[in-house]
Structure 1
Amino acid sequence: MLRSSAAVAFVFVGAVLLFSLEPLVGRLLLPLFGGAFHVWTTALMFFQGALFCAYLYAHLLAPRIGRWHLAVVALPLLFLPPEVGGAGVAEASTLAILTRLSLHVAVPFGVLATTAVVTQRWLADAGREPWGLYAVSNLGSLGALLLYAIVIEPQIGLRTQRWVWAGGYVIYVGLAWLAWRQRGAATRPLPESDAPGPRPRPARLVYWLLLSAAPSAFLMAVTNLVALEVGNVPLVWVLPLAIYLASFVVAFATPRAGEATRVPGAVRRLWPHVAAVGAFFFSGGDAGGGWIDVLVHYAVLAFVTLAAHGELHRARPAPKHLTLFYLVIALGGWLGGAFVALVAPAAFTGLWEYPLALAALALTMGVGRRAALAEWVKTAPKLALIVSAALVVVILVKIAGALSAQTGTDTLAVRRSFYGIYRVTETGGRVRDMMSGSTRHGRQRVGDLTPLSYYHPAGPLGDALTLIEPPRHLGVVGLGVGAAAGHLEPGDRARFYEIDPAVVELARAHFTYLSGARGEVELRTGDARLSLERDDERFDLLFIDAFSGDAIPTHLLTREALALYMEHLAPDGVLLLHVSNRYYDLRPALRATLETLSLPAVHVARVDRLATDQDPSQYVAVAGHAERLSPLRARGWSPLTELPSVSPWTDDHANVIEALSLP
């Protein structure tokens, strides 16, 4: 039992604040950088680097400065409430995100990250067993993540979140003083296994490093994979991180009598088979199996991180060297994160960090515990070994096929950018598609300017364009392959807003909608909302086409954003939103938000009686008065008020969980 209740409270509150700060900061960053899917992985890499710096401080300085650490704890009071800077950027970049985080978040995050290590050091120096505080810290971290995903983010606005967090930090400062006062003297001798031992050898340090780096890289690889498919929202960030932390909680929990570890034996025996299943699902493509794939990847993450962290616990040193142990773990976590956030986007066009992280983990576990590996081969069920061997063969064949497909005749180009991964394919020399994961961003028949897919003349976009008398002035948010330009007639003008330069490059190089348009086309690169705030254009039709992809840029669908769009409409202009998405039904949130602006709207879900080369789609049309939308109602569009209403979305609060379309 830990004698200092203040130490337990101090560590627990510090962990809660630390891991509620991470998604809060990510949520603050996301709209400033256009909802880019690399925002979270870049932020997570920064947090891991800050964690390493905090542990370095705890290892080198905290033992020497003693109670002066309390002054360091008070320093973040100058940075309350937490923020990341208010102005958005035209184009997201890793450097821009890291700069903001360094200026606004590094100090409070770094101080909080020292909590568990410094407090354990206080207890260890007093001759008391400190490992239980590690479990307390991880439980607080896990609780904070789940609370944020389930309660805080869906129910509480960002402004309130920031000030509540600031109040929590004031409490944390008071607990720091109490914990220092109550650290006391030893109440019982250290267990013999935890008595001071020799300094760990370099090989042991490398083993710790790899056992922390590989799971960290795999955590971020799984997060990228799911974010590309489901969307870049806090729920998608928090669940993998919660699984990762839960593996630490279980692995470092105090074993029961007669047990060496709390990690179940089934996990230690079966994790290689589960990893093979994960690699098999990955080799079927970057993503694409819907919710089943997502659940499989989360299960694989749970198994492999629990196995790795169980081995890390087995290899832990005596308490005398615990700050060194945590320092190496933090360095490994940062190296794994840096590989995914910095190296992988530059080196790979696909999400190959996923199988590479699995391979690194298997190699580390195999080499580090050769005897255990041999015992596993002897004791593992023969059927499991046969199935795993077969999976490995299939995986190698599928990965080889995927690699060759990237340069084969059917794949014209593959690009990985800060915002996504895109693949342009050509089928039979006749039809070209732009794909991101399993989502189609546009299609064109070679040599034909007729818009296809969601933009077909017989579809909702064609319906909406009949409302506008020529010559027409169109604004389009989201380029795709430029299919909307195929609707232009001589005298028409269209201004496209596209945040990702890679999409512009692919649309121009491999599709002819832009170059062959019969009207005038203008392209603006950068975040559409920021661009519109600077523009004074008035459009006959403003077409928002940014929600059918893998990420949901919520800042383009808030009350403030919708009000901005209406300001950019000409008299009797129409706002059209394409809201087709496999994972979210955005129409109820859109209805609630439009009601706060007293704007009439109609919607259509065109899912049957489709023309050739037309895909199912959902659209919403908005105008200043209901009569303007009457022609659309005659074509089968329905009032948006027929849909259930949920919480309206604002810049301060958007409940994305309510919009999820679960199977």
Structure 2
Amino acid sequence: MFSVQPLFARMVLPSLGGAPAVWNSCLFFFQGVLLAGYLYVHVISRFLAPRRQLILHGMVLCLPLLCLPIVLRQPLEGGDPGFLRLLVILGVSLGGPVFAVCTTTPLLQKWFSAGRHPLADDPYFPVCGQQSRQHGGVAELPHPAGTQPDAGPAELGWACGYGAVVVLTLSCGVMLWRQGPQPLSVVPSPKTIRLSNRPGGRDGCGCCFRLFRPVGCWPSPPRSPVNWSPFRCSGWCHCRFTFLTFILAFSRWQPMSHVWMVRSFPVAILLLLFLRSDSVLQEMVKHLAVFFVGAMVFHGELARRRPGTSRLTAFYVWMAVGGVLGGMFNSLVGPLLFPSYWEYPLTLLLACLLFWRFRSEHDPKQVNWWVFLPEGMAVAVVLLLAVARGSLVDGLVTVVPLVILGFLAKRLTLVFALGVGVVLLATEFGDLFQDQKAVLHSERTFFGVHRVLRDVETGFHELHHGRTMHGMQNTEPSRRHEPLAYFHRSGPLGQVFDEFSGENAKSRIAVVGLGTGTMVAYREPGQHFTFYEIDPSIKRIAESPHLFTYLSDSGRDAYDIVVGDGRLMLARARDKSFGMIILDAFSSDVIPVHLLTREALELYYRKLSDDGFLVIHISNPHVSLGPVLGNLAADAGSRCWICRDQFVPTGLQESGREPTLYAVIAREEAHLGGLLDSKSDLPWIEITPDEPEAAWTDDFSDVFNILR
């Protein structure tokens, strides 16, 4: 079902932009439709006989065929359409097909349990297929980046796939009709009796199922060793692991013992807390390992506590309720309630608190040496890594609390959970007291955590979003007007403004991406800057004189700030009103693809004067945007040049200059004046397009192939 989620997001992004309301509306829609579909199956399975269910469900499946292929049914104008209108658009465009798909698997399992198959008493083993779709597992297997490169064929493929689902589902129903269903047993299995009498035995299914969901929704991470979660850039692995753990947990063949997974869980938590590494790959492997073990534990408990076939549909309903609650917690409660990324440590703490409730059920009656094997292996790993790094003393210091918490995990599981909570809190708040940088301001929004730091040695103020620095300023009164970081006067952007200064200066300049407002430091008398910024909190930070003074020093008549999606807001400007458009929105780990498409370039050219040009800041450690811009320029009959300032001496970096990468796109070389003839050590080199026909469009973009 959720294969249509990235597909439809690609369709609405150019029209709606990347505002939080769009994401929240889509989230509520898909999870709400999933819950509605499960409730539908629950109701008809209780009040209708299987043959009548087949007739009704046949109509439910066939009616959405009239709505295929999926298209945006309601044309949209630029601007915020509102939460309710977005829900209406989603419902009209794809409500029918999505509802029909999400009802199919639980109903098929209910039909299977009513048949005469030898395994009809335990129809849960196909549950992994449904959950893989719920997490996008099967749907996104061909595209690890999480998106379809070409939305056009994807729409047709999804429509054909839906047609196949209709045919196969109705075929299963016809088979059940022919053989005649056996009466459903109303006596639950002994396992069901034992578990259903426990408080929360059934109602906790959704919570157990969604327990580790916040890890997969992780935004751009901060620098804390616990809060720094690599799942943001490994979401594809998260989906695959969710899919795999459901298969292993509900499969009739158990290659991994659930008891061993339960015993390994506290060890995984301890290794996460006490193993530190500066390697991104090692951190990613460590967090993914914890996610895998934790998902195996709680999905295994979900499978172990599953009810009998008489309550199969209720089982699905509670899982959907857990999904809705988990989605609300991540997308709404977290950004509003927590000042930083606390969902991950709170999820780990909650996992440990829930863990103690069923830990004793898996303890052996006799304590053997192999019971302590996971803890022993963890201690050995820590010591071996310490020896390899030449710091055995540090390893021994790490082992002591690890052994203590490991003992508590064996004997006093609740105390172990509280101990983990103390370590997590110490790590979180310890990040606020750094030796080199003091936190002046911290604010969390739907776009992430923004921090303003003060470097103790240099006195510079720096704006950080997660691990990405978006600007800095010298606080000395005589030097605070100097543009620093990626906008340094001796860098590529400085060359552009030096060339177009004085009589050649552009009177009106548009900048997509505000940051600290550094670019206004290049303003000359008579010039006006218009900034387009999607995050209102960035506007507040940039205009706060106690944090950054670039904007306040320039005066209110020097600039305007338009809050909203850059492409949508720029479309409202007068045609041919800007001499230069600067795009500064591609430095973080998430790039706005809709700003680099053929349709977007056509928009920029409409807003530029006849001799206007584009300047694009493309410094990014994760993706290489040079080939994308080369193909895009060639597709439009333009040319593209790139300037690399990536080897900055240490002395210059200490003075505020950062390695950077810029590109310019112009319809004619003459529009760039003498920029390309500059005798600087930083030459502008023309990009030769490798595949002009592969230019990105609103329907096509292949982000995965440009990953570094």
- Opposite residue 60 of structure 2, the aligned amino acid is V
Q: For 1:600 and 1:489, locate their aligned partners in 2 and report how far apart those are by CA, in whole Å.
A: 28
The answer to whether the aligner puts 1:430 opposite 2:462 as a matched pair is: no
1:25 deviates by: 2.9
1:571 deviates by: 3.1
SS at structure 1 position matched to 2:450:
strand
- Cα distance change on mapping 1:78 and 1:191 into 2, 3 Å: closer
1:348 deviates by: 0.7
1:123 is matched with which residue: 108, 112, 117? Answer: 112
1:203 deviates by: 6.0
Q: Where do 1:373-384 residues align within 5 Å? A: 379-381=371-373, 382-383=375-376, 384=378
- Opposite residue 565 of structure 1, the aligned amino acid is Y
Q: For 2:232 and 2:5, locate their aligned partners in 1 and report how far apart those are by CA, in whole Å.
A: 10
1:365 is matched with which residue: 355, 367, 379? Answer: 355
Q: For 2:344 and 2:81, locate their aligned partners in 1 and report how far apart those are by CA, in whole Å.
A: 24
SS at structure 2 position matched to 1:149:
coil
CA contact (8 A) 2:485 2:658 kept: yes
1:640 is matched with which residue: 668, 678, 686? Answer: 686
- Cα distance change on mapping 1:455 and 1:215 into 2, 3 Å: farther
Q: For 1:152 and 1:409, locate their aligned partners in 2 and report how far apart those are by CA, in whole Å.
A: 36
Q: Where do 1:512-527 residues align within 5 Å? A: 512-517=549-554, 520-527=558-565
1:39 deviates by: 6.0
Q: For 1:45 and 1:233, locate their aligned partners in 2 and report how far apart those are by CA, in whole Å.
A: 22
Structure 2 partner of 1:170: 163
1:134 is matched with which residue: 127, 131, 152? Answer: 127
1:526 deviates by: 1.0
- Cα distance change on mapping 1:327 and 1:609 into 2, 3 Å: closer
Q: For 1:547 and 1:152, locate their aligned partners in 2 and report how far apart those are by CA, in whole Å.
A: 18
2:67 is matched with which residue: 60, 79, 87? Answer: 79
Q: Where do 1:420-459 residues align within 5 Å? A: 420-428=448-456, 430-446=459-475, 447=477, 448-459=480-491
CA contact (8 A) 2:39 2:317 kept: yes
SS at structure 1 position matched to 2:656:
coil
1:109 deviates by: 2.0
What residue ranges of structure 1 are gaps of 5+ in the alignment?
1-17
Structure 2 partner of 1:317: 307
Q: Deviations over 1:314-369 (max 9, x none)?
A: 11122222112222222222222221122111101211111111222222222134
- Opposite residue 465 of structure 2, the aligned amino acid is S
User: Among the aligned pairs, what percent are the same residue?
Assistant: 29
Structure 1 stretch displaced more, 528-537 or 498-507: 528-537
SS at structure 2 position matched to 1:19:
coil
What residue ranges of structure 2 are gaps of 5+ in the alignment?
380-398, 406-418
1:494 is matched with which residue: 519, 522, 529? Answer: 529
1:273 deviates by: 2.3
> How many residues are aligned here?
634
1:501 deviates by: 0.7
Larger Rg: 2
Structure 1 stretch displaced more, 84-93 or 70-79: 84-93
Structure 2 partner of 1:3: none
Q: For 1:92 and 1:375, locate their aligned partners in 2 and report how far apart those are by CA, in whole Å.
A: 62
The answer to whether the aligner puts 1:649 opposite 2:696 as a matched pair is: yes
Q: For 1:490 and 1:76, locate their aligned partners in 2 and report how far apart those are by CA, in whole Å.
A: 61
1:164 deviates by: 2.2
1:263 deviates by: 4.8
- Opposite residue 522 of structure 2, the aligned amino acid is H
- Cα distance change on mapping 1:41 and 1:306 into 2, 3 Å: farther
The answer to whether the aligner puts 1:308 opposite 2:289 as a matched pair is: no
Structure 1 partner of 2:706: 659
- Cα distance change on mapping 1:205 and 1:52 into 2, 3 Å: farther
Q: For 2:695 and 2:365, locate their aligned partners in 1 and report how far apart those are by CA, in whole Å.
A: 58
Q: For 2:353 and 2:540, locate their aligned partners in 1 and report how far apart those are by CA, in whole Å.
A: 39
Structure 1 stretch displaced more, 77-86 or 166-175: 77-86
TM-score, normalised via structure 2 length: 0.80
Structure 2 partner of 1:466: 498
SS at structure 2 position matched to 1:87:
coil
Structure 1 partner of 2:246: 248
The answer to whether the aligner puts 1:344 opposite 2:351 as a matched pair is: no
SS at structure 2 position matched to 1:466:
helix
- Cα distance change on mapping 1:204 and 1:34 into 2, 3 Å: farther
SS at structure 1 position matched to 2:126:
helix
TM-score, normalised via structure 1 length: 0.85
Q: Where do 1:180-219 residues align within 5 Å? A: 180-183=173-176, 184-185=178-179, 195=189, 204=198, 206-214=200-208, 216-219=210-213
Structure 1 stretch displaced more, 123-132 or 480-489: 123-132
Relative contact order (alpha carbons < 8 A, sep ≥ 6): 1 or 2 greater? 1
- Cα distance change on mapping 1:364 and 1:546 into 2, 3 Å: same
Q: RMSD value over aligned CA atoms?
A: 3.8
Q: For 1:231 and 1:601, locate their aligned partners in 2 and report how far apart those are by CA, in whole Å.
A: 36
1:482 deviates by: 0.2
- Cα distance change on mapping 1:541 and 1:435 into 2, 3 Å: same
CA contact (8 A) 1:221 1:340 kept: no
The answer to whether the aligner puts 1:411 opposite 2:439 as a matched pair is: yes
Structure 1 stretch displaced more, 474-483 or 98-107: 98-107
1:651 deviates by: 0.7
Structure 1 partner of 2:662: 619
